[in-house]
Structure 1
Amino acid sequence: MIKLAIVLPCYNEEEVLRESARRLAGLLGQMEADGRISPDSFMLFVNDGSRDATWDIIAALHAADKRVRGLNLARNVGHQAAIMAGMMTAKDWADAVITIDADLQDDLKAIPKMVDEFARGYDIVYGVKVQRTADPLLKRLSAVAFYKLQARMGVESVYNHADFRLMSRRALQMLSGYKETNLYLRGLIPLIGLDSTTVPDVISERCAGHSKYTLAKMLSLALDGITSFSVKPIYCILWLGLAFILVSLGIAVYVVHAIMAGTAVPGWSSLILSVWFVGGVVLLSVGVVGAYIGKIYKEVKRRPLYNIKEVLGGE
């Protein structure tokens, strides 16, 4: 039978942890009774530098149920790095690892389907959102816009998939070979190339608490997703520069004609407008190039993504 690990990144999730552990324990028990997974399957809660009682609750849950394991990171490293820490730790303990957020808004009914697809030979199974009515309207619209922008930028990813997925130990071993500091798992995992499939994921309301994924964090993730896997923004700057050269040639022709015809009138407004517009485009272009240089700066330092402070279970 399959030994399954369920990895849950946690940041200030004290309000939902007990309920999440209860529901997952019931699910593990049901799948064990159905013969899908082995009795030593477990859930691994990754504490991403929480400021509340998240780690204390994880420790208490572990003491009450050995199927609950804990990974305490030394500091807050972000959602993507916390998921990576959990997967890289759990890959040595299990045949397959499922990642899911601790709020359990993703569909738990999809987990047995993922396990079944893994048993059929798929190394990667993506949970794809088919219904997001529980999400705020702004989040739904921005997510759709982002997925479409990714596709236009040439980023290979699974449409409407976040970080709810199953990966085999073989896939995780291959993923461990990618030593990127600017981590964007949704674009990185499809590059592995192993056989994959999808299962439907119906999003539900949080049982308690509120989302820790702020607009700023979502925008930062979107920027990482594009700049880590596409150089099209750089080429957009190139084409924009060529367009400005053509416009300037047209203006030069107009100015020469106006001088020869004696209709040239000195204009302060048009000059200032042009200066501000071109200056804004130049600054924007420098900013895009700077973002890429900044990512190179981070990559060449080769700093570790995370440091593990404490582990509960898996001895």
Structure 2
Amino acid sequence: MNKPILNIVIPCYNEEEVLPITSKLFLDKIYELIKIGYIDDKSRVLFVNDGSKDKTWDIIKQLSKEDEHYQGICQSRNRGHQNAVLAGMMYSIDKCDMIISIDCDGQDDINAMNEMIEEYQNGCEIVYGVRSKRDTDTVFKRATAQGFYKFLKWMGVETVYNHADYRLVSNRVLKEFKNFKEVNIFLRGMFPLVGFKSTSVFYERNERIAGDSHYPLSKMLALAIDGITSLSIKPIRLITSLGMFVSIISFIGVIWTLIVHFIGNGVAGWASMTSIICFLGGVQLISVGILGEYIGKIYMEVKARPRYIISETTEEDK
């Protein structure tokens, strides 16, 4: 039986500090998996340069010259983490039997790859890497991250709890995933939609080896908004429900006003009127904002612009 070919897909954005350290770890893992017979020698470590402004691409090109198991592709500009992972996956479709996507910072336990491949050999097409605990996070980071997953679930987005983008995906799934054409992508919510047999592998996450995190709270919020508006229409339904509730309250208020008027106890109430106007104005602005977010997504989808553009590869230099 032929051994499967693996591509480890690693998105990189301004990683010149950490890349020289973690690249060696990824290469050692490839050689280890080859030695124990889990994968074929044609397996590769594929770095995806996401328009870095530092020396990341220069480092990737140098690594590819030092060992054939290193490969790299360079996007024409920065398109974001999700698009970088997508570019690496699509580039790998005709080159391997499975991919494992993982971040460059060394926080995800690469030893979990062994168990992922074992699950693949047992028939699983998608294997999610899931954090077993968050002891290394600050209280604020832990609370916001856990709240992020719970909020997504409440809003109707199907995700794997405490799973980011560390996962094994078979070539069969990649070919089906290629049919998903949306421009606004949220990978951790899209792969559960593909289906096929899947499972989870649990691991402990480490501290970042070097450099700074590229996912502050602002990007987490942006990712949550993208995930919700790309995969769920629940916010629009909540607007409808809120509109019905406000209409009922307003109808009751009208009846109460008429009763007071005919009884003859009507008193001009500026405070109550102002409160009602402000409340309804706030509801309308929030509703328009949510609808605008969806309209913006439709606008981008209709344009159907490329989700990534590969400007250069290390294979061109060989």
Asked if TM exceeds 0.5, the reply is yes
Determine the C-alpha separation between the residues in 2 that align with 1:174 and 1:104: 29
Corresponding residue for residue 303 of structure 1: 305
AA aligned to 1:21 is S
For 1:116-195, list aligned pairs within 5 A: 116-195=118-197
Corresponding residue for residue 210 of structure 2: 208
Corresponding residue for residue 7 of structure 1: 9
Deviations 1:144-179 (A, max 9, x none): 112122222222221111100000111101111111
Corresponding residue for residue 46 of structure 2: 44
Secondary structure of residue in 1 paired with 2:268: coil
Determine the C-alpha separation between the residues in 2 that align with 1:137 and 1:295: 33
Q: Which stretches of structure 1, 4 residues or longer, exceed 4 Å deviation after superposition?
A: none
Shift of 1:239: 0.9
Determine the C-alpha separation between the residues in 2 that align with 1:53 and 1:250: 65
Shift of 1:196: 0.7
* Matched-pair identity in %: 47
For 1:222-233, list aligned pairs within 5 A: 222-233=224-235
Corresponding residue for residue 63 of structure 1: 65
Shift of 1:298: 0.6
In the alignment, is the contact (CA less than 8 A) between 1:66 and 1:313 conserved in 2? no
Deviations 1:239-276 (A, max 9, x none): 11111111111211221222233322212222112111
Determine the C-alpha separation between the residues in 2 that align with 1:135 and 1:53: 29
Deviations 1:188-231 (A, max 9, x none): 11111111111002110011011011222111110111111111
Q: Does 1:95 align with 2:113?
A: no
AA aligned to 1:191 is L
Corresponding residue for residue 289 of structure 2: 287
Q: Which runs of 5+ in 1 are unaligned?
A: none
AA aligned to 1:268 is W
Secondary structure of residue in 1 paired with 2:313: strand
RMSD over equivalenced CA pairs, Å: 1.3
For 1:224-263, list aligned pairs within 5 A: 224-263=226-265
Secondary structure of residue in 1 paired with 2:132: strand
Secondary structure of residue in 2 paired with 1:131: coil
Deviations 1:84-133 (A, max 9, x none): 00011112111110000000211111111111111111111000111222
Corresponding residue for residue 198 of structure 1: 200
Shift of 1:139: 2.3
Secondary structure of residue in 2 paired with 1:269: helix
Corresponding residue for residue 78 of structure 1: 80
Secondary structure of residue in 2 paired with 1:164: strand
Secondary structure of residue in 2 paired with 1:9: strand
Determine the C-alpha separation between the residues in 2 that align with 1:35 and 1:235: 52
Determine the C-alpha separation between the residues in 2 that align with 1:237 and 1:181: 25
Corresponding residue for residue 113 of structure 2: 111
In the alignment, is the contact (CA less than 8 A) between 1:132 and 1:204 conserved in 2? no
Shift of 1:70: 0.6
Greater Cα offset, 228-237 or 149-158: 149-158
Secondary structure of residue in 1 paired with 2:165: strand
Determine the C-alpha separation between the residues in 2 that align with 1:137 and 1:22: 32
AA aligned to 1:293 is I
Corresponding residue for residue 312 of structure 1: 314
Secondary structure of residue in 2 paired with 1:50: coil
Shift of 1:135: 2.5
In the alignment, is the contact (CA less than 8 A) between 1:99 and 1:166 conserved in 2? yes
- Among candidates 267, 270, 273, match of residue 269 of structure 2: 267
Secondary structure of residue in 2 paired with 1:66: coil
The total of aligned residue pairs comes to 315
